[in-house]
Amino acid sequence: MLKMRLATVHDAQGIAELSRKAVEHGLPWGWTPTRVTTAIADPSTNVIVAKISGAVIGFGVMEYEDDSAHLLLFAVDAPDRRKGLGSKLLAWLEEVASAAGITKVRVEARADNAAALAFYGKHGYIQQTEVLGMYHGAEDGVRLSKQIRREHSDNS
């Protein structure tokens, strides 16, 4: 049975391992269990996890700023992709961000990751710019963003 919830420190190892396998493959391991634990403890960051039978099959790490949010890390394990889980995780993160007054979400993906770029495009994210060598100088990246709610004007 699928369970989606805010991550706890007990989820950090599984999130870090899935990040290594699904996101950071071919790059130095940046999202180690220690870094994930730090994100889970950070009050300006939400970490959501999806698990089946105790195993992490998806997650999202979103950091909140004044009026924007940055989706720092996001993955669904390969066998569980294309079943709607990524859409559910992303919708949850966007709903929480919108409720917190966030107007824009930013995310990055590898330029050669057609599946990720299509996923974000399907969910309303617009490609802003390509950054050569974004990932440790080894991989090019694409910055995307999405307006999730209108900014309020002071004249209302």
What is the secondary structure of 37-86 as a DSSP string?
HHHHH-TTEEEEEEEETTEEEEEEEEEE-SSEEEEEEEEE-GGGTTSSHH
Per-residue confidence band for 71, with pLDDT thresholds at 50, 70 and 90 = very high
pLDDT at residue 138 in the model? 81
Burial (Cβ within 10 Å: 0-12, 13-18, ≥19) of residue 88: middle
Question: What confidence category does residue 155 fall into, taking pLDDT thresholds of 50, 70 and 90?
Answer: very low
Taking the C-alpha atoms of residue 102 and residue 141, their distance in angstroms, rounded to an integer, is: 24
- For residue 53, CA distances in Å to 3, 7, 77, 82 come to 9, 15, 14, 20
In eight-state DSSP terms, residue 10 is: G
Is residue 80's pLDDT more than 80? yes
Confidence band, pLDDT 50/70/90 cuts, at residue 150:
low
Quick one: pLDDT at residue 10?
97
The structure's pTM equals: 0.90
